[in-house]
Amino acid sequence: MAKLSPIFPLALSAEGGYLANETVKQVVKQNFKNLILTSPGERIMLPDFGVGIRRYLFEQNIESNANNIRKRINEQINTYMPFIQMQEFIPTFDENELIITIKYFILPLSESDILNINI
């Protein structure tokens, strides 16, 4: 099977070299996760790239914060990954943890996937 991109964080494979994404679906999921975890200003030459989800970690557990997160993710999807559509967004605010589950649809592949992020 073709190796499309390295899996992050980098890890060595048993055969030598690095573990790699072998499907477009895996690459899209990894890129979507990077989009959500990257803070604006962190990526060189793209100062507006990223949701910066960590900044919401200690916010109050109120519906407006969930709406702000959802809005920010949709803005970033529309700008940097317009080939996916967010279908479902489930934020869970805990004492010391923010858990986000996102169900999304990859338009060119006609496939759905789920991304879970725990911060």
Domain ranges of the chain: 25-118
Tokens representing 96 are: 């010391």
Residue 42 clears pLDDT 80, i.e. is over it: yes
Residue 58 clears pLDDT 90, i.e. is over it: no
Q: What is the pTM of this model?
A: 0.89
Q: Is 34:41 a contact under the CB 8 Å cutoff?
A: no
Q: Kindly indicate the confidence band of residue 37, based on its pLDDT and cuts at 50, 70 and 90.
A: very high
CATH of 25-118, one of 3.30.70.330, 3.40.1410.10, 3.40.50.10150, 3.10.450.40: 3.10.450.40
